[in-house]
Amino acid sequence: MEKSLKNYHNPVMLMQSIDALAIKSDGIYVDLTFGGGGHAGQILNRLGKNGKLYAFDQDGDAKSNVPDDPRFTFINHNFKYLSNHLRLYGVLQVDGIFGDLGVSSHQFDTEARGFSTRMDCPLDMRMDTRKGQTAADILNTYSAEELMSVFRKYGEIPNAGKLAKLIVAEREKEPFLTSKNLLNRIQTCMPLHKEYKYAAQLYQALRIEVNDELDALQSLLNQSVTLIKTGGRLVIISYHSLEDRMVKYFMRSGNMEGKVEKDFYGNSLSPWILITHKPLTPDEQELSDNNRSRSARLRIAERR
């Protein structure tokens, strides 16, 4: 079992994130991104017989990693529906919430899922393959203005307008269906010697749009204020600046703008106490063992 979990996903900053939850043996915890079950397994190791762990993952493939443990409940849905699903189990508040955002190793390495720029695969990129539009749908139907907005907002691509116009012109000849076909046809937009970075930015933008990732994250963060008990922890690992900025601002202030409101005496009214003022990052050993951890940023806050 251990081997299959490792192949599915190599958990990032494993012990740092579990330590950050300050787990109580009889507590109730949520893993927002179950994946291969690496983080969940460590949470269960620290829970006693009366502890509970609820794990979310919208990717049906993650079901294969569910442990046989009466303390564990798997919920095959997007974590933006966190409160509703927990309420179905009679859970109104929890002692901690953990999330490892982004794409799992399994999703990157499974060709049919379309997340990788390294393979010639279908332009899918859905984390929940049961529903929703694919990356191909977006590329072949969005207007130039809509594409430019997606590329600029979610990929921070400097020549987003030029790229959008090229895609609209090219799809008139034939639709975009596979990754190799896409990347070959946008070569004129790619900066010399920076082709890989450019492709990664484009794929990030498409993936975020396909899965509505930032709206889901905002919804989750807003729900966490009422869900987490006083003294409970919110622990989030993010992988790009758009996610990390949202998490940083929210943990600082309790809102998405990062504006800290104060009372008459100048005391912060934020619902959170920052445990990390700067994000934790992987150590040299982890970076050596797992190159995909290089952009990880771990932030921790405690509910007042």
Extract the tokens encoding 102: 């982004």
CA distance linking residue 160 with residue 151, whole number of Å: 6
At 185-205, the pLDDT tens digits run 999 999 999 999 999 999 999
Return the closest-CA partner of residue 237 out of 217, 253, 255: 217
User: Could you count the other beta carbons within 10 Å of the beta carbon of residue 84?
Assistant: 10
User: Could you count the other beta carbons within 10 Å of the beta carbon of residue 255?
Assistant: 16
Residue 7's pLDDT is 64
Are 228 and 297 in contact by the 8 Å Cβ rule? The answer is no
At 94-117, the pLDDT tens digits run 999 999 998 988 998 899 999 999
Residue 292's pLDDT is 87
- Does residue 6 register a pLDDT over 90? no
Q: Cα(first)–Cα(last) distance of the chain, in Å?
A: 39
Judged by DSSP in three states, 274 sits in strand
Average pLDDT in the 231-244 region? 97
Helix (H), strand (E) at residue 145? helix 144-155
Q: Give the chain's domains with CATH numbers.
A: 2-106+213-303 (3.40.50.150), 115-211 (1.10.150.170)
User: Could you count the other beta carbons within 10 Å of the beta carbon of residue 112?
Assistant: 9
Percentage, residues of the chain above pLDDT 70: 98
- Does residue 10 register a pLDDT over 90? no
Judged by DSSP in three states, 162 sits in helix
**What amino acid is encoded at 261 in this protein?**
E
Are 299 and 247 in contact by the 8 Å Cβ rule? The answer is yes
User: Could you count the other beta carbons within 10 Å of the beta carbon of residue 278?
Assistant: 9
DSSP assignment letter at 190: S
* CA dihedral sign, ordered 215, 281, 126, 66: negative
Percentage, residues of the chain above pLDDT 90: 92
DSSP assignment letter at 250: H
Q: Give me the residues paired with residue 31 across strands.
A: 55, 98
Q: How many helices (H) and strands (E) does the chain have?
A: 13, 7
Q: What angle do CA 119, 202, 112 make, to 5 degrees?
A: 30
Average pLDDT in the 76-89 region? 98
Residue 165's pLDDT is 98
270 alpha-carbon distance from chain centroid: 24
Residue 3's pLDDT is 36
CA distance linking residue 60 with residue 107, whole number of Å: 11
Residue 82 φ then ψ, to 5°: -50, -60
- Does residue 208 register a pLDDT over 60? yes
Mean pLDDT of the chain: 95
* Long-range contacts from 143-148, C-beta under 8 angstroms, 24+ separation: 143/168, 144/168
Residue 92's pLDDT is 98
The band of 2, judged by pLDDT with boundaries at 50, 70 and 90, is: very low
Tokens 């379309």, residue located? 114
